[in-house]
Chain A
Amino acid sequence: MKQFAALFDAVDSSTSTRAKTAALVAHFTIADARDASWAAWFLTGHRPRQAVPTKRMHTWAAEAAGIPLWLFEESYDAVGDLAETIALVLPDAVREDDTPLHVWIEERLLPLRELGEAEQKARLLQYWSSLRGSERFVFNKLITGAFRVGVSALLVTRAIAQRFDLDPKLVAHRLAGEWSPSVETWQRIVSGEALEIHAAHPYPFFLAHPLEGDPVKLGERADWLSEWKWDGIRAQLIRRGDTTALWSRGDEPIAGQFPEIMADAHKLPECVIDGEILAWKDRRVMPFAALQKRLGRKNPGKKVMADSPVIFLAFDLLEVAGEDWRPRPLDERRAKLADIIHAIPGASAFDTSPQVRAPNWETLAIARAQSRQLGTEGLMLKRRDSPYGVGRTRGDWWKWKVEPYTLDAVLVYAQKGSGKRASLYTDYTFALWKGDELVPFAKAYSGLTDEEIREVDAFIRKNTLERFGPVRTVKPELVFELGFEGMQRSKRHKSGIAVRFPRMLRIRTDKAIREANTLEDALRLAGL
């Protein structure tokens, strides 16, 4: 735990990628295989389930610290993070503990979940008393299942590749999907030999960068393939031997949620395809809300499947009959992909994502202007001769999204953020006018600079009207320009509309609240 906490400290306190990578490489050099496998598992975003209910942690921490619960809650309110609050209020560790990470996890943390309350308490108090500062913080984060650290999976991949002198793509592939930490797993991850790829393992997804400005700077139009940018679930379908697997971009297996896709998948030959899962009816995409009804729902019922039928729109081909096709040019992959998909007899849950034909950049821009009517977010531009890359390498794939909808809305509620923003009010609710009433319609927490956040935070503290738990009602005074990607009617929302990807574009200090938009403006804007 000491080594891992030290790594966390090093990564957490630094803003430099170079320093973070160095800390990771150093850690993978000193950690033994079993500890390293756990470290890599956590660092790539895996989390154990919450081991102890949060409420118990509040009570027991207050008790161990010798303070009343109300004072613990005041402290929590100032810190904004439970794991950290506990680490700060508890008395100093009474003994040194050099127990390695894997023992902490396998023999102490994971069994906690299954214990009765009394035994759970006894053990937790004992663990707390043997951990120091950041070790205690990290342990608490692992217990609550909320461990996050400021490194990307790509950075971890690079550090492992650097330490063991491996190709980063190979490491990325080995780290993708589901795996359990163990000595064997770690040896497989860092092995210099090209081991047989596990049948169900996905490839790392290749990601696009947003295109700023005019696509003319990309060069010849003819060198670029264009297709719609869909607003669904990016997914990878794997057919290898008897294995059929479906993965989301978050490396989550999602086969269970989409039985109709899995039912048709066996009609495909051995291959790996990349695409987007969408709710699809009458040859067009349904609003994201329809797809949302299918998410996180294993073995969906007949009604849900009939109301929100799904399709897998394929746009890339990564493997054919066991051969890695990623280095081949995109044009070749697309041609073969079309052959494979169109060879499926009859109607199926698969289709290819249509290309947007436009002879030059000007006509393509006209096509892009139709994005919203077609239910897409804009266009994807992909270099025709490009390989399928790893992560977010720049230059070959661009997303050229349509300009967002914008509305001026009034800040009415605020809540504290999490992580770096835990002690600041950063999560805001905005309202639009409905007659003389301000009706909340969107929540947003991104888009402001740190400086602006501090200013708004100070404004909120000075202008709080009421508090409901963590939420503050704020005097209506600040107007923000919000941007968002889409809007639907919704019965669940008081405003009657649900917006997609709301974010703050700027603070409109020049506007009085009466000048903010109305709900009718919003409906008109989205053509509802």
Chain B
Amino acid sequence: MVSDTNMLVTPTARGLYCAAGDFYVDPWRPVERAVITHAHGDHARPGSGAYLCAARGKPVLQTRLGEEAVIEGLPYGEPRDINGVRVSLHPAGHVLGSSQVRIERGGEVWVVSGDYKLDPDPTCEPFEPVRCDTFITESTFGLPIYRWCTPDEIFARVNAWWRTNAEAGRASVLFAYAFGKAQRILASVDASIGPIVVHGAVEALNRGYRECGVALPETRMVTDFEAKQDFAGALVVAAPSSQSSPWMKRFGDYSDAFASGWMAIRGARRRRAVDQGFVLSDHADWPSLLRAIEATGAGRILVTHGHTTPLVQWLNEHGLEAQSMKTEFEGEAGAEEAGA
């Protein structure tokens, strides 16, 4: 466990704290000043006095935290002085507006990664490697069993599944996290196959994406339809919580699928009890984690949520100074290994 008093960022009961600048990064309890990496629930919690996030992420964060939250958007790369500490935000490639937080004081540079991925995603800016001395990285998929196929290969499979179902007169229901994953799917599938229907929770986020200029295909809500057979051939993108809810009944004969990095494991696929599991994650896989860490040039790596222990040991064996750092971040939704 990390407990060095000279650290620029330390884990505290309220969250990752930068004492020199007197601000928190993604705090899990209300604080005065919070820098937010992205708007997922485990990173952006309501109740803090003032929030700073990437300008691209502001509309979505505002929706999530409510109208009354005081949020300031900062363009990527633009430095900001907070009590003598130089802070800037850099794309993390995780979801729209997601950032890594670069913190510099007296020539020493720390970067807090938030959640990130290196794979291309049409809905957000690509991950930017930022040179630093200390890198605080996530490790959601920090084991060599997690290696993603390219998005092109994955979406070719999604399209093929949708097309086969459409030809058989069935709807295709794809469960995906409503913020980020859902929009990435919408922007990546072949919209010429059929109509696209989304759950209300997904559409709420689509609005924020469209406001930011992210091109999404036309989406419809179930309320735009009347009879059951209308859904034949459609792709339905819904939040995982819709699975086995009465909301599903309207789709009649459908095939279902789940899009998540956890789908790499057979046991997780089978427990999900869907027809297809697409291994699609907004987190870095094992090779990406190693690549990202190397690109920072950091000599010290602090590993947060996920498979921290193996990643720490691996990095130590490879000549880096690595330690685990306890946080309350959760990683990818649907993690059944959470708490392990």
Give chain A's interface residues, CB within 8 Å of chain B: 12-15, 65, 67-68, 70-71, 74-75, 78-81, 84-85, 88-89, 137, 419-424, 450, 454, 457-458, 461-462
Contacts and interface: CB of A to CB of B under 8 A. Distances in A.
Contacts of B276: 13
A423 B145 contact: no
Given A420-B271, A462-B339, A79 B144 contact: no
Interface string B265-307: 1111111010111000000000000000000000000000001
Contact of B267 (A65, A89, A424): A424
Given A424-B336, A461-B340, A462-B339, A79 B265 contact: yes
A61 to B, nearest CB: 11
B266 A81 contact: yes
Contacts of B267: 79-81, 419-424
A80 B266 CA distance: 10
B153 to A, nearest CB: 11
A255 B138 CA distance: 60
8 contacts: A65-B144, A74-B143, A74-B307, A78-B337, A79-B145, A420-B267, A423-B267, A424-B336
Nearest to A78: B143
A68 B277 CA distance: 29
Nearest to A88: B145
Interface string B139-156: 000011111000000000
Nearest to B310: A74
A15 B273 CA distance: 7
A454 B334 CA distance: 12
B314 to A, nearest CB: 6
Interface in B231-286: 264-271, 273, 275-277
B134 to A, nearest CB: 24
A75 B317 contact: no
A89 B339 contact: no
A71 B144 contact: yes
A461 B340 CA distance: 6
B144 A67 contact: yes
Contacts of A74: 143, 307, 309-310
B314 A78 contact: no
A14 B266 contact: no
Given A75-B310, A81-B267, 14 more contacts: A13-B277, A15-B273, A71-B143, A74-B310, A75-B143, A75-B145, A78-B145, A78-B307, A79-B265, A81-B266, A137-B266, A423-B336, A450-B271, A461-B340
Interchain residue pairs A-B with the least CB separation, the first 7: A88-B145, A420-B270, A74-B310, A422-B267, A461-B339, A423-B267, A75-B145
B313 interface: yes
A85 B145 contact: yes
Contacts of B340: 461
B248 to A, nearest CB: 15
A71 B337 contact: no
B313 A70 contact: yes
Contacts of B339: 458, 461-462
Interface of B: 143-147, 264-271, 273, 275-277, 307, 309-310, 313-314, 317, 336-340
A12 B266 contact: yes
A89 B145 contact: yes
A75 B310 CA distance: 9
Contacts of B277: 13
A68 B143 CA distance: 12
A139 B336 CA distance: 27
A134 to B, nearest CB: 9
Nearest to A417: B267
A423 B265 contact: yes
A516 to B, nearest CB: 25
A326 B149 CA distance: 55
Contacts of A423: 265, 267-268, 336-337
Contacts of A78: 143, 145, 265, 307, 337
A88 B336 contact: no
A68 B273 CA distance: 34
B160 to A, nearest CB: 14
A458 B144 CA distance: 24
A78 B310 CA distance: 11
Contacts of A81: 266-267
B144 to A, nearest CB: 5
A450 B272 CA distance: 10
A470 to B, nearest CB: 14
A89 B285 CA distance: 12
A172 to B, nearest CB: 28
A422 B143 CA distance: 17
Contacts of B271: 420, 424, 450
A420 B265 CA distance: 10
Nearest to B264: A88
A489 to B, nearest CB: 38
A354 B321 CA distance: 76
A462 B275 CA distance: 32
Nearest to B269: A13
B15 to A, nearest CB: 21
B292 to A, nearest CB: 18
A208 B37 CA distance: 60
Given A78-B337, A423-B337, A458-B339, A71 B269 contact: no
A14 B143 contact: no
A433 B143 CA distance: 41
A213 B264 CA distance: 43
Of the listed residues A78, A419, A450, A458, the one surrounded by the most CB atoms of chain B closer than 10 A to its CB is A78
Nearest to A72: B144
A378 B264 CA distance: 46
A420 B267 CA distance: 5
A72 to B, nearest CB: 8
A462 B339 CA distance: 7
Contacts of A68: 317
Contacts of A67: 144
B146 to A, nearest CB: 8
Contacts of B314: 71
Contacts of A70: 313
Contacts of A462: 339
Contacts of B147: 88
B266 A84 contact: yes
A2 B277 CA distance: 20
Contact of A89 (B144, B313, B336, B338): B144
Given A71-B314, A74-B143, A14 B275 contact: yes
B157 to A, nearest CB: 12
Contacts of A454: 336
A467 B266 CA distance: 25
B177 to A, nearest CB: 19
B312 to A, nearest CB: 11
Contacts of B269: 13
